[in-house]
Structure 1
C-alpha cells in the first residue's frame, strides 16, 4: 500500500541536522525531535462516528460478566467459581486470554469517557486475581487450559514442569498441549499496566505482575538458549514487552535480562539485518515481538532493536498491506507486493492492525514524521472503524475485501471471544488517543477527529471542530490558555493532499512546511483559532506489484462499490472498470456522505460508491480490475469460454460433494477426526490434520469415471492419500506451485472399483506430520468418450 509521496526513514537512521542545507535546517527545526501523545484522559470526543463507537463499546463491556471471565482463574487456584465459564475460545485451550483485554478495555474506557463502572469492575478483577495468586502460593495465576493426549482438559499449569525438564513440544500455537500460554500472559500484563496507567496507581496490580514474573522467570531459568528458542516458536505475543515494561516500572534489572532473553531469533534477526523474510509466516504472531523490541530500544538504546522495528514497519506498510491498512491473508503474510493475488474473505485480521497502530505510535514518538500518521489514519479509519458492528458492538475477526463478501461479527452475547474480540474491546475504547501530541513546546494535531483536550503544558483547553473525513476543513481553537505565549502549532498535511490552506482567526497565513506538517508559530492567546483546508480529491490507487488492480479513495477514505444488503446473495461476476480516464466517470451524489455514482464505467453495470467502513451490513466491491475497451472484449470472451466448460462438466457430473458445508456433508454421511471446515475466496472446503481423516460417500454409475478435487495453489507444503473404499488411488502433494489460483486435479478411477456399485466411500488421509487439503470440493463425473478418427477414403 502506498503511503503517499513521503517516505519514512529509508535508511533506518536519522539524518543529522548538520548534513542538511541551511534552509532545510530552518524548516526542520520547527518540528520537535520527539513527541508524546496527550493523555487519553485529557481528551474528550465530540459527537462523531468515533464517539459513537466508544459508547457502543462501553455498553458491550458492561454487558460482560467479570466472574465468568474469572471462572478458570478461580477454579485452577482451588477457589469456588462464582459463575459459569463463557463459551467459544474461553471454553477452549486459549481460555483466559480475554480477561487481559477486558481489563485494558475497562481502563481505556474509564480514561476516554470517565466511566466509574469500568473502574469499579477493574478493581474487582484485580482483587480476585490477587486472591487466586495468593492461593496458588508461587506467583502463578492463569486461566488457560491444557488438553492431554486422551482429550481430557486440565489446568494449563501442568505443562511447565515438563518444559523445565526440557520436554518441549511446540507446534506454532500449541505448547505441550496448551494453546499460546505466553501470549495469554502478555495480554494479562498489558491489562494490569493499563489499569495502573489509566485508572490510577494500584499496588495489587503491581504485586500480581511481579509475582507472576517470578514464576515465569523460574521457567526460563531452567532452559538453555536453544530450549528458549524452541519455546519461542510457540506464539508468545509481546512477552518481551511485558518484562521490558516491568523493568521500566520497577528498575529491577532481572526483568530487563528476561526481556532480552525473550528474543525470537528466527524472526527478529533477519529484520535487524533488513531482510524481508515474512512470506508464509503468521502475521500477528510477529507484530507484538517488534513492539517489544521497540520498547527495549527505548530502554537500552540498542540500535539493532530500533532498526528492526523501523524496517518491519516499512516493509509491512509498503509491501504487505491492503488499501484499508490491514495485512495478511488467512492470518499469514504473503510474498511482498502480491496483494492482488490475495483479495479474499480472509484478509485483514483486526489484531494485526491493532498492533501495527501501536508500533506506529512508538516510531512516531522517536521521530515525528507525517508519513507515519498517513498510515495510522488510513488503517484507523478504514479498518478499525469497519471492525465494530455499530449497533450492538460485535467485532469482526477478518475484514474481507473479496468482492461480494460480507462481514461476520461476533455474537452480541459474547460467546465467541476470538482474539479480535479482545483487541476490539481495546481499539474502540480509545479513539481519542492519537489526535493531539506535544513535543518540546509544539502542539501537534495528527488526526482530524472532533474533540476537546486539556494541554497541561500550557494550562490550555483546545477544541478541534471538523467533519473530517467528509469535509476537508478542521479548526483548532484555544478555548482557554492559562499560559499564553509564542509557540508552534503543527497540523498534519496528508501525503495525498496536493495543497493546504491555513487561516489564523479567519485570515490566510503562510505556514512553514516540515516533515509532513504545516507549522504556524506565533504568540497565541485565548480565543485564537487556526484552520486548515485540504482538498479531498478522488483518486485511484494500485495494489503494490499490480497496476491493473485498483481501489478508489477520497482523501483518507476508501470507497466501496455498494453491492446490496449483507443478508442477500452475491453470485454475479466481479465488477470491473473499463475505460481510460476512469475518475472522470464518477459523479458526486452526496458530498457530505462521500457518496458517488459511476456513469458508463463499471461492467457489467454501474455502481454507487460509499465509504467502506460504513458498510457493516452491506456487501462491497473494493478492488477492481481495470481494462481498456479492447482488453475488456478479450476478458469477456475468456469468461464465456469458462462458462461453457463448467456447463459441460455439470452435464457429465454423477455426484458433487461440497466439502465444509453442513447439509451436503450430512447428505454424504461425512465422518471425520481432527478435521475442520474452512472457507476461502468464496469457496468452502475441509482439511484434516496429522492423525486425522475425513470420509464420505459418493454416488457412482457404470462406465469410466473421474474423481476431481479442487485445491488452492498457494498452500504450504503438505501430502496426503486419497482412497476409494479403502484402496489408495492417489497420493497428492501441495507445494505452493500455482500461486493465486484454484486448480483441479483429475483422478481416473479403475472401473473395477465402481463396477456393480451404487456408491463408494472417499477417504482423505494426511501423511504423518502433514495436513490434508484443504480440499475445496470433489466431483465424480463420466469420462468423455474417446474420439474415433474419421475413416479415410
Structure 2
C-alpha cells in the first residue's frame, strides 16, 4: 500500500537522521515482519491518563447495569420467568438483545484490561442463563429479538426464521419479516460469547455459540443463492466473522462454508474490483462485512478476501472521513471527497469508528505499516474519547461537527441502548489493546499511551511513560528483561512529525532504519535500557479533501476546536471563518501543555480560544472553518453571512425534521408504509410510495401558524399524490419537470384547526392510482414568520 505518508517519510528519512544525529541504516530488504499481532490485552495495564479514566468510568457503568434486566426477553421467550424488568429504548424494540452481546464483550474486555474478577463472574452468570434458555427451547436457538406482526402484536422474533426457510422473505435495509436487523443482533450475541470464551476461559460460552450456529446452519441450508442474497439485503452485522471465528477455534469446515456464504454480492463485489460505490450506503452496515472478510482472508489466504477490505479501508480513510477520523453523515456515506458538503449535526456515528479500528488492526496484522496507526491514533484520540462523557458515563450516537452543535450523550439507565451505547461500552473497556504489537522477533510501539506491559516473548516488563499528545516526549523502559539479547524495536514515527522527530537510547543517538513509518532500532538490549522519542507538537492547518478552503486546526495528532461556550447557551451567531494568508502566526499558546491556544486577528467575527476537540463534552465547538484571503473575504462576506443567516433562520424556526429513507429517523418518527421504498438520488436519501401504497409518520407541532415543507427532485416525470395530516388532505401535489437539475422545497400551510392542542400529527403521502408519491427527500415542520396566518 503506497500512501502519501509513506512518500513523505521516505523523503524525510535523511533529514530525520541528520537532525537526530543518528546513523540511517541503508537496506534494500524489508526489516519489518510480514505479519504482527498485538500483545494480549491482559498484559497491558494503563497508567493515569484520560484513557485510563475512561476505562474506570466505563467499568463503573457496566457494574451498574443489571444482567437480569438484559436477560428479560431471553428467558421470557424460552418459557422461563424473567428475573428482571426489561430495559426501555432499543431493548424494548424488535432489535432487543443486541445490548447483551455488547455487554458480554465489554465485561470480558474489562476483565482482560483491568483484572476485575467480577466482570467475568457477571459474564459467566449470563452464559449460564443463556445455556438454560437454549436448553429450554430445544432447537439450538437462543435470543431476545422481537417481531412485529402485521396486526401490530409483538412476539418472539424467532418465528421469522421458519418463514424464511419456507421462502417467505420480506427483506429491507433494516427490516426482515417484521424484525429490526435480526442477524445483526445474532452477530452481537455470537461476538459476546466468543469473547467470554477467549478472555474469561468459559468453554460453556463456546458450546452455546456452536449450538446457535447449528440453528442458523439449518436456516441457511434451506435457502438457494438468490434467497440468501435477499436475506443479506437486510443488515447482518459481521455474522460472517462469527462463523469464521468458530471455524478458527474448532477446525470444523462446516463453519467456514457458512462464513463464506454470508457474502453480500451487491456491496462486496465492487470493492473486490476496487470500485468506490459507497455513496448513499449505510456506513456501519458495511464495515462489519469487511471485518468478516478480513478474518476469512487470514484463515484461507484468498486474494479477493484481502483486496476488498484493503481497498475499503483506503477509500474510507482517504476519501470519506472527517478530520477526527469518523465517517458518514446521518449514518450514510456521501460521494468521495465531499466531506465539506456534509459538516452537519449528524456526523460520525461512533459504531463506524469502533469497526474501522477493528478493520485497521486486521490490515496491520497482515502488513505492518505506520500509516494504518496514524489513522488509528487519529480516530481513537479524537473520536472515541469524545464519545464517552467522563462524568455521566453516557455515550454519543453521533459526534456532530457542525459549528455550534452540542453533543448529545445517553443517560445511562432505562432508555438509552442504541447501537453506539453497545460499541461504546466495548471501546472504553480496551484502550490498551493496540499499544504494543509483535512480529517474528520485533516489538512494535504503535500508540503512545501511558502503561505498564509484559512482553512474554522476551520475559520483559516495560513502562511506557508519556504526556503525549500534550507533551512531545515518550519513553519506553525495559524494567525487566529475562531474555536480554539482540532484537529489533520498531517505534512509529507519526506521518505529521516527519523529519522533526528524534530518537535516542539511554540518552544517546543510535543507528536506526526507517521503513514504512517506523524507526527500527536493532541492538543488544539489556534490563534498564530506555528509548526516548520526541515528536514536536506543532500546529498545522489541515485542508479538507475536495475543498481546500475548508480547513481544521491540528496539534500533533490532536484536532483542536474553537470553544464557542457552554451547551446551555444557544449558539446564535454566524459560523466563524478564518481570514488571512499566514493563519498559524496568529495562534498563541495559553497552555501549550494542554493544547490550548488563542487565535487573534484571523477569526471573523472575533478572536477565539482553541482547545482539544475531544474534551468539549459540555461545550459548543467549531472544528471546520471556511478560509479566505482578505480580498476574498471582502468580496464574499455579504453572501457568506446571508447564507449563514438563512440556514440559522430555518433551523431556529424548525419544530421537527424528518430524514426519509434513513433507518434511525424513520424509526424515531414511527414510519409505517405499504408498497413504499427508500431511494437515493443525487446524493440525497428519500422515500417513495407506489400506486396502492403510502407512507406516514409522526411530526412534532406546536401552537401557532406552522408550515409543512417537503423536498422533491425538480426534474421528476409526471406524478400526482396527496399530502394528508391526521387523515385530512391538505394538498394534492403534481410534479412534472418543475425545476430540472435541482431539488425543490414546497411549502404547505398547516391549518391551525389540525394542530390545535396537539403535540404531534401524522403526516401521510399517498399516490393517486397509477402514480407515485414522491420521492420525498425530507420533510420539515417550522413556524410561519410573524404576520402570516394558516
1:510: Cα distance to partner?
A: 3.4
Q: Distance in 2 between matches of 1:326 and 1:509?
A: 37
List alignment gaps of at least 5 residues for structure 2. Answer: 9-23, 659-668, 674-684
Structure 1 position 133 matched with structure 2 position 134:
yes
Aligned to 2:491: 491
Aligned to 2:383: 383
Give the direction of change, closer, same or farther, for the CA distance of 1:38–1:277 in structure 2 (3 Å limit): same
1:543: Cα distance to partner?
A: 1.1
Give the direction of change, closer, same or farther, for the CA distance of 1:175–1:503 in structure 2 (3 Å limit): same
Alignment check: 8 A CA contact 2:147 2:155 kept: yes
Alignment check: 8 A CA contact 1:687 1:771 kept: yes
Q: Secondary structure at the match of 1:5?
A: helix
Alignment check: 8 A CA contact 1:466 1:474 kept: yes
Q: Secondary structure at the match of 1:692?
A: strand
Aligned to 1:14: none
1:302: Cα distance to partner?
A: 0.8
Q: Distance in 1 between matches of 2:462 and 2:654?
A: 63
1:707: Cα distance to partner?
A: 6.8
Q: Distance in 2 between matches of 1:329 and 1:343?
A: 8
1:716: Cα distance to partner?
A: 13
Q: Secondary structure at the match of 1:29?
A: coil
Q: Distance in 1 between matches of 2:89 and 2:334?
A: 29
Q: 1:659 aligned to 649, 656, 660, which one?
A: 656
Q: 2:729 aligned to 693, 703, 726, which one?
A: 726
1:762: Cα distance to partner?
A: 10
Q: Distance in 2 between matches of 1:393 and 1:349?
A: 17
Give the direction of change, closer, same or farther, for the CA distance of 1:719–1:431 in structure 2 (3 Å limit): farther
Alignment check: 8 A CA contact 1:435 1:446 kept: yes
Deviations, residues 402-421 of structure 1 (Å, cap 9, x unaligned): 00011101112252100000
Deviations, residues 458-512 of structure 1 (Å, cap 9, x unaligned): 0010110000100111011000000000111110001111322111111122321
Q: Secondary structure at the match of 1:389?
A: coil
1:734: Cα distance to partner?
A: 12
Q: Distance in 1 between matches of 2:647 and 2:233?
A: 44
1:571: Cα distance to partner?
A: 1.2
Deviations, residues 363-420 of structure 1 (Å, cap 9, x unaligned): 0000100000000000000000100001121100000000001110111225210000
Alignment of structure 1 residues 427-446 onto 2, 5 Å = 427-446=427-446
Structure 1 position 223 matched with structure 2 position 232:
no
Aligned to 1:681: none
Q: Secondary structure at the match of 2:503?
A: strand
Alignment check: 8 A CA contact 2:704 2:783 kept: no
Aligned to 2:255: 255
Give the direction of change, closer, same or farther, for the CA distance of 1:54–1:253 in structure 2 (3 Å limit): same
Structure 1 position 691 matched with structure 2 position 695:
yes
1:686: Cα distance to partner?
A: 12
Alignment check: 8 A CA contact 1:479 1:527 kept: yes
Q: Distance in 1 between matches of 2:737 and 2:278?
A: 20
Aligned to 1:611: 612
Alignment check: 8 A CA contact 2:720 2:732 kept: no
Structure 1 position 577 matched with structure 2 position 581:
no
Give the direction of change, closer, same or farther, for the CA distance of 1:87–1:688 in structure 2 (3 Å limit): farther
1:579: Cα distance to partner?
A: 0.5
Alignment of structure 1 residues 514-663 onto 2, 5 Å = 514-639=515-640, 658-660=655-657
1:149: Cα distance to partner?
A: 1.0
Aligned to 2:423: 423
Deviations, residues 762-792 of structure 1 (Å, cap 9, x unaligned): 96525478775532235667999xxxxxxxx
1:528: Cα distance to partner?
A: 0.6
Give the direction of change, closer, same or farther, for the CA distance of 1:644–1:488 in structure 2 (3 Å limit): closer
Deviations, residues 97-156 of structure 1 (Å, cap 9, x unaligned): 000100000000000000111010001001000000000101000010001111111000
Give the direction of change, closer, same or farther, for the CA distance of 1:405–1:55 in structure 2 (3 Å limit): same
1:637: Cα distance to partner?
A: 1.8
Alignment check: 8 A CA contact 1:502 1:510 kept: no
Alignment of structure 1 residues 148-297 onto 2, 5 Å = 148-200=149-201, 202-297=202-297
Q: Distance in 2 between matches of 1:403 and 1:74?
A: 46
Aligned to 2:676: none
Give the direction of change, closer, same or farther, for the CA distance of 1:159–1:715 in structure 2 (3 Å limit): farther
Aligned to 2:671: 674
Aligned to 1:503: 504
Q: Secondary structure at the match of 2:268?
A: helix
Deviations, residues 338-364 of structure 1 (Å, cap 9, x unaligned): 000000110000000000000000000
Aligned residues: 734
Give the direction of change, closer, same or farther, for the CA distance of 1:3–1:592 in structure 2 (3 Å limit): farther
Q: Secondary structure at the match of 1:560?
A: strand
Deviations, residues 21-65 of structure 1 (Å, cap 9, x unaligned): xx9982653221211100000000010000000000000000000
1:233: Cα distance to partner?
A: 0.3
1:744: Cα distance to partner?
A: 3.7
Deviations, residues 439-471 of structure 1 (Å, cap 9, x unaligned): 111111000001111000000101100001001
1:335: Cα distance to partner?
A: 0.4
Q: Distance in 2 between matches of 1:280 and 1:779?
A: 30
Q: Distance in 2 between matches of 1:211 and 1:324?
A: 41
Q: Distance in 2 between matches of 1:462 and 1:188?
A: 35
Alignment check: 8 A CA contact 1:192 1:206 kept: yes
1:673: Cα distance to partner?
A: 6.8
Give the direction of change, closer, same or farther, for the CA distance of 1:630–1:714 in structure 2 (3 Å limit): farther
Q: Distance in 2 between matches of 1:700 and 1:347?
A: 32
Aligned to 1:333: 333
Q: Distance in 2 between matches of 1:579 and 1:244?
A: 54
Aligned to 2:463: 463
Alignment check: 8 A CA contact 2:601 2:607 kept: yes
Alignment check: 8 A CA contact 1:566 1:618 kept: yes
Give the direction of change, closer, same or farther, for the CA distance of 1:642–1:412 in structure 2 (3 Å limit): closer
Q: Distance in 2 between matches of 1:277 and 1:308?
A: 12
Q: RMSD in angstroms over aligned alpha carbons?
A: 3.5
Q: Distance in 1 between matches of 2:197 and 2:716?
A: 43
Aligned to 1:787: none
1:617: Cα distance to partner?
A: 0.9
Deviations, residues 518-568 of structure 1 (Å, cap 9, x unaligned): 111110000111101112111111111000100100110000000011121
Structure 1-normalised TM-score? Answer: 0.86
Aligned to 1:56: 57
Q: Distance in 2 between matches of 1:735 and 1:484?
A: 78
Alignment check: 8 A CA contact 2:587 2:598 kept: yes
Alignment check: 8 A CA contact 2:388 2:395 kept: yes
Q: Distance in 1 between matches of 2:40 and 2:714?
A: 45
Alignment of structure 1 residues 84-103 onto 2, 5 Å = 84-103=85-104
Give the direction of change, closer, same or farther, for the CA distance of 1:538–1:4 in structure 2 (3 Å limit): farther
Q: Secondary structure at the match of 2:334?
A: coil
Deviations, residues 698-718 of structure 1 (Å, cap 9, x unaligned): 9999xxxx9773649899999
Alignment check: 8 A CA contact 1:293 1:309 kept: yes
Alignment check: 8 A CA contact 2:45 2:453 kept: yes
Q: Distance in 1 between matches of 2:739 and 2:206?
A: 48
1:308: Cα distance to partner?
A: 0.5
Q: Secondary structure at the match of 1:526?
A: coil
Structure 1 position 114 matched with structure 2 position 115:
yes
Alignment check: 8 A CA contact 2:287 2:352 kept: yes
Q: Distance in 1 between matches of 2:569 and 2:218?
A: 56
1:330: Cα distance to partner?
A: 0.5
Structure 2-normalised TM-score? Answer: 0.87
Question: Which segment drifts farther, 319-328 or 408-417?
Answer: 408-417
Q: Distance in 2 between matches of 1:221 and 1:769?
A: 39
Q: Distance in 1 between matches of 2:739 and 2:672?
A: 21
Give the direction of change, closer, same or farther, for the CA distance of 1:28–1:735 in structure 2 (3 Å limit): farther
Alignment check: 8 A CA contact 2:656 2:701 kept: no
